[in-house]
Amino acid sequence: MKIGVGSCLALYIAELLNLEYSVSAGTITLLTLLTSKWETVKLSVCRLATFTMTVLIAWQIFSHVESTWIAYGILLAIMVFITEVFEWRSTVSVNGVIAAHLVTNNDFSDAAIWNEFLLVLIGVVLAIVFNLFHGNYGHKKYIIQNMESVEKRLQLIIGALAAYLSNREMERNVWDDICILEKDIQKCVAEAYEYQNNTFHSHPEYYISYFEMRHNQCKILHNLHYEMKKIRTMPKHAKTVAEYMLYLTEYVTECNHPEKQIDRLNEIFKVLEEDDLPETREEFVSRALLYHILMDIEDFLTYKMRFIKELDETQIKIYWKKTSKEN
């Protein structure tokens, strides 16, 4: 709808102003609207900047090269080179259209250049205006729903791993669950980036950081699951660790600060350190694996701590506002 209405309106305004090649204004709007809000603003500035370069270079080339097709080729080669150097590749298409108009009439008068400038100006201004209309509220709501879904799935996975440590059969294929969740979180990261690029607020990186943190936690659960599968005989403290993991599931939420969970985990570490040494090789291996599991859980919590510490001032306000509401 934005592309259709915006391009149509650009063409209509160009025709009202009696501009030549008025349909090009609609094409420029189309090409610019295909990007996000921030990209539209940046691209629009780049289009206006490269317009000036295109006109100046075209005027110089066509003033010294008689053959039209050779001059046109040289112009495009130079413009492509410049846009590649400055990473303005997305402006090449519009520059090509402008060059084609100038070549067709071989006219570099003030009126011809003004005509081309207005085509570009109408196209980019309407693209900026129409890209302000974006369903950010619905997009944000969708991202928050994804956050809640990820948390629930992490809780289920941790609960299933706790059941395995308690010598109960896992009711689900945890390995597949973790792999699917990792892929889904990567999609959530992409959604968060899209939301960031379509809003002018200063905090959208919060959602990107959040999903990246959850993705790292998923990798930890991969390691944790792998360590558990290597245990042949459950050590006597396995039940204690399983109970801790069940306790932990309640706190796998966006607004939880895991200080208390880390303190409780440290208490379990102390219990293991103060316990009698294993008597057999099998007991030693099982105890070592259990210790690794605790270290994985510690890493799981550390990622959340790091996420909170790396928030900027605006994001911290959002985080603590959510925390106070939850409490």
pLDDT tens, 80-94? Answer: 888 888 877 777 888
Range with top average pLDDT, 130-139, 213-222, 314-323:
213-222
Whole-number Å distance between alpha carbons of 289 and 272: 12
pLDDT tens digit sequence for 235-282? 777 888 889 999 999 999 988 889 999 999 999 888 887 777 766 677
Percent of the chain with pLDDT over 70: 85
Give residue 179's pLDDT. 92
Query: Distance of CA 232 to CAs 56, 182, 213, Å?
Result: 77, 28, 32
Chain-wide mean pLDDT for the chain? 82
Read off the pLDDT band of 46 (50, 70, 90). Answer: confident
pLDDT score recorded for residue 297: 94
**Residue 100: closest CA among 23, 203, 156:** 23
For the segment 154-176, the average pLDDT, to the nearest whole number, is: 83
Separation in Å, CA 226 to CA 114, 175, 230, 238, 296: 68, 9, 7, 15, 11
Looking at residue 126, its pLDDT comes to: 86
CB 111 within 8 A of CB 38: no
Tokens 């150097």, residue? 85
The helix/strand/coil state of 133 is coil
* Selection from 8-12, 99-103, 132-136, 229-233 with the highest mean pLDDT: 8-12
Q: Name which residue leads in pLDDT, 1 or 302.
A: 302
Q: What would the mean pLDDT of 130-145 be, rounded to a whole number? A: 74
Residue 133 token pair:
């209309």
Question: How far is Cα 154 from Cα 204, in angstroms, rounded to an integer?
Answer: 23
pLDDT digits (tens, 9 = 90+) for 281-309: 776 777 788 888 999 999 999 999 999 88
Domains of the chain from N-terminus onward: 2-131 (no CATH), 136-326 (1.20.120.940)
More confident residue, 131 or 15: 15
Task: Specify the higher pLDDT residue, 292 or 108.
Answer: 292
Please report which confidence band the pLDDT of residue 186 belongs to, taking 50, 70 and 90 as the band edges: very high
- Least confident among 130-134, 177-181, 210-214, 306-310: 130-134
Buried b (16+ CB within 10 A) or exposed e, 69-87: eebbebbbebbeebbeeee
